Amino acid sequence: MKTMENKVALVTGGGKGIGLGIAKAFAEQGADVVIAGRHEDVLKKACEENEHFYYVKADITKSDDISRIVQYIKEKFQRLDILVNNAGWCPVKPITEITMKDYDAAFDLDVRALVDMTIQSLDLLKASKGNIINMSSVGGQNPGPNLSMYVGAKAAVENFTKAWAVELAPYGIRVNAIAPGAIETDIWKVPGLTEEESRKHLAESAARIPMKRMGQPEEIGRGAVFLADDKNSYITGTILTIDGGISIG
């Protein structure tokens, strides 16, 4: 029996990368999945390849766009069981080069939009006694150089996760987060590198991971399904690390 039959999930940034991996994992378990993002061509392509997918083109840094997503779900499904706050952005710069524009871009998407999306979804999640899954990063607890805006935002996400787990438990809502390590997505395609140089870059990155390989989006997806599964209803306030051991290696 599929574990997500008759459930509805929303995945922000669900048209590609980790978000798409999560969306596919929920769909494989029988859920209807709404994916939201800014690029309609990407969203359409994903929906054409999966009959359980639906999409809303939206910029979730805008409250009105979030409202449109929530209204679409209310009209289309009348319920929401799983919210995955996945969309994020990572400026790679040392603090000596960071501008407030970089700060605003990172925190508007990684933090403010996540809070706004959660607040606007709460009525639906209360009704379903649903799940919130926030996307963190191994950098949230193991910060590295040149990523201060990103790891700072993810540290906030992890603390929101723990606080909300306590606050929303009386409503039957569970709140958890996933902290991925190096996952093989388009983000690793460094501009200016040839295909051979890109493969070398990937191989060198994988060599630093104890399991000697990059993770795959579907592996994050299986982690999300685990957290949202009703059989695991005693799990809340947890940060699930999926990183091939790199945070302890």
Nearest residue to 140 via CA among 181, 172, 105 = 181
pLDDT at 247: 86
Number of residues in the chain? 249
CATH number, span 8-189+216-242: 3.40.50.720
Name the band, by pLDDT with cuts 50, 70 and 90, for residue 206: confident
Name the band, by pLDDT with cuts 50, 70 and 90, for residue 208: confident
Q: Three-state SS for 156?
A: helix
Judged against a pLDDT cut of 60, whether residue 179 lies above it is answered with: yes
Q: Where in the sequence numbering do the catalytic residues fall?
A: 136-137, 150, 154
pLDDT at 187: 64
What values do phi and psi take at 177, rounded to 5?
-135, 155
Q: Are 23 and 35 in contact (CB under 8 A)?
A: yes
